[in-house]
Structure 1
Amino acid sequence: MSTQLEVLQIALAAALGERVGTTVALGEITLVVKAGDYYAVMQALRDDPALGFDQLIDLCGVDYSTYGEGTWDGLRFAVTSHLLSVKHNWRVRVRVFCPDDEMPIVQSVVPLWRTANWYEREAFDLLGILFDGHNDLRRILTDYGFMGHPFRKDFPVSGYVEMRYDPEQLRVVYQPVTIDPRENVPRVIREENYGIK
């Protein structure tokens, strides 16, 4: 007797073939898709009646630059989506890596799932990932004048600019950060026999 996970694996292999790499861990399936196949694979996941992933639950960007304590040797940016099939009661995770680290871009899936609109805007705003075909790609969480993308691993903790109210000009002004960067290392006291009786 096949489990639901095995049935899903068979259906995914039949519908997608060699276009995806599949991994199974902790009872979840993750599909890794090439950027060139991303839109077609997502459309097949939605439209194939054997799969029927009718809901996009989540979409987010990931910066892998310091993954694995800096031992990561792959592409820097990825977009990860979580899909749900209500009819079949199964889920799948889809990951696509942006082929260019300097200009991370993948195809938008807003034409497939309208819920991707704000998720893609968030990934653009926080990580600088561009979505080709998105008709309203603008910042959603940071100010329109914000410089940079704050979820990138190389973004400075204190940012580039700060704002303050200037009583002489009677308005808010932006200026370069005046905080001197420093590292706070907590003092750790270790007891040799802690927890041993």
Structure 2
Amino acid sequence: MATLSNFQQTVSDILGDKILNIINRLGEITIECLPQHYREVMTVLKENEALHFESLIDLCGVDYSSYRNQTWQGKRFAVVSQLLSVKNNRRIRVRVWAQDDDFPLVESVVDIYNSADWYEREAFDMYGILFNNHPDLRRILTDYGFVGHPFRKDFPVSGYVEMRYDEAEKRVVYQPVTIEPREITPRIVREEHFGEQ
């Protein structure tokens, strides 16, 4: 089996200028690409005999608005895919950056990897990332009337609305959040009084 650096060079040679960056960190290869090259990169990774990444094992959205407790200096949203080549016993990560932070849009890869279907729906539901040409892009984890995208870092912890069953109306109703914020002050234990009642 080729070393990781040889594998990185193979990926770089095959994909050429279709990738923005290739990162070899902690024994893993990550390639980054622009949305206009995303489908082509994913197709080549699947169909090229030297690579043969036949399985998409995960796909998720990421909100980089703050990263490692610092303000991020780049695009806010990315879609990250984890691919597996059983034939070559290799894994690779693909990160594609959505170009518009206010309207994050990436092409769907469901017709290339059919396992991307529900993963893309989850990224849409949780982060608001739209997948162009997805066959059935609708919410998958939250209610159809849900407001917002709960994994975005600017989403309020208590949400915008709450739902409850109204016994008088015999139906589920939505209302503004009634949770009152409270400050929890931790109890301080001093060494000189430790263990006393």
TM-score for both structures, normalised by structure 1: 0.91
Return the letter of the residue paired with 1:119.
Y
**How many corresponding residue pairs?**
190
- Which residue does the alignment assign to 2:195? none
- Once the two structures are superposed, residues 29-85 of structure 1 have per-residue CA deviations (whole angstroms, 9 ceiling, x without a partner) of 000111111111111111111110100010000001111323211111000000011
- Which residue does the alignment assign to 2:91? 91
RMSD over aligned CA atoms reads 1.7
- Which residue does the alignment assign to 1:33? 33
- Which residue does the alignment assign to 2:51? 51
- Once the two structures are superposed, residues 98-144 of structure 1 have per-residue CA deviations (whole angstroms, 9 ceiling, x without a partner) of 00000001010101000000000000000000001101000100111
Could you tell me which runs of 5 or more consecutive residues in structure 1 were left unpaired when the two chains were aligned. Answer: 192-197
Bigger mean CA offset, 108-117 vs 161-170: 161-170
Bigger mean CA offset, 62-71 vs 125-134: 62-71
Bigger mean CA offset, 150-159 vs 64-73: 64-73
- Which residue does the alignment assign to 2:16? 17
Query: Given that residues 30 and 95 in structure 2 are in contact (C-alpha distance below 8 angstroms), is that contact kept between their aligned partners in structure 1?
Result: yes
- CA offset at residue 188 of structure 1? 6.2
Return the letter of the residue paired with 1:118.
W
Query: Given that residues 64 and 76 in structure 2 are in contact (C-alpha distance below 8 angstroms), is that contact kept between their aligned partners in structure 1?
Result: yes
Pair 1:180–1:56, CA change in 2 (3 A): same
- CA offset at residue 183 of structure 1? 4.5
User: How many Å separate the matches in 2 of 1:188 and 1:16?
Assistant: 58
What percent identity do the matched residue pairs reach?
Answer: 59
- CA offset at residue 179 of structure 1? 1.3
User: How many Å separate the matches in 2 of 1:108 and 1:190?
Assistant: 57
SS of 2:59's partner is: strand
User: How many Å separate the matches in 2 of 1:132 and 1:185?
Assistant: 47
1:118-129 aligned at under 5 Å gives the runs 118-129=118-129
- CA offset at residue 190 of structure 1? 8.4
Return the letter of the residue paired with 1:75.
K
User: How many Å separate the matches in 2 of 1:189 and 1:44?
Assistant: 61
Return the letter of the residue paired with 2:9.
I
User: How many Å separate the matches in 2 of 1:105 and 1:187?
Assistant: 47
Pair 1:185–1:50, CA change in 2 (3 A): farther
